[in-house]
């Protein structure tokens, strides 16, 4: 096997190994376990971005969230504040 063939073979094997599938069970032993009832309980905050179709950020936002559970049903009461990133964008609030 010449050097070029060996290099190509190694690259193909590495590429195929990189494409191996990952399953949820690969992470089942990770701790701490996420409990929605504990995580979404009480006062929370959220921060994020809104992008246009090209991926450009056009707005940012903050949210105050009150989360609670009643009879096994979770409720999120959310108050959002949107902020424009650029005044040159022609989108209205």
Looking at per-residue pLDDT, the higher value among 43 and 2 belongs to 43
Enter the DSSP assignment of 92.
Answer: -
Strand partners, 79: 64
Among residues 7, 73, 11, the alpha carbon closest in space to that of 40 is found at: 73
Give the chain's end-to-end CA distance (angstroms, integer): 65
Looking at per-residue pLDDT, the higher value among 33 and 52 belongs to 52
What percent of the chain clears pLDDT 70, i.e. is strictly above it? 78
Stretch 41-68: mean pLDDT: 93
* Whether the Cβ atoms of residue 10 and residue 17 lie closer than 8 Å to each other: no
Looking at per-residue pLDDT, the higher value among 89 and 60 belongs to 60
Stretch 44-52: mean pLDDT: 92
Sheet holding 57-70, edge to edge: 42-51, 57-70, 73-84
- Residue 32 banded pLDDT, cuts 50, 70, 90: confident
């Amino acid at each position: 096997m010449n050097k070029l063939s060996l290099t190509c073979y190694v690259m193909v094997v590495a590429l195929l190994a990189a494409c191996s599938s990952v399953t949820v069970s690969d992470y089942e032993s990770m701790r701490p376990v996420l409990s929605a009832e504990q995580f979404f309980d009480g006062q929370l905050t959220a921060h994020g971005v809104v992008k246009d179709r090209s991926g450009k950020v056009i707005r940012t936002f903050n949210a105050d969230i009150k989360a609670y559970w009643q009879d096994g049903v979770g409720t999120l009461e959310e108050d959002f504040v949107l902020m424009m990133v650029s005044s040159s964008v022609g989108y209205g609030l």
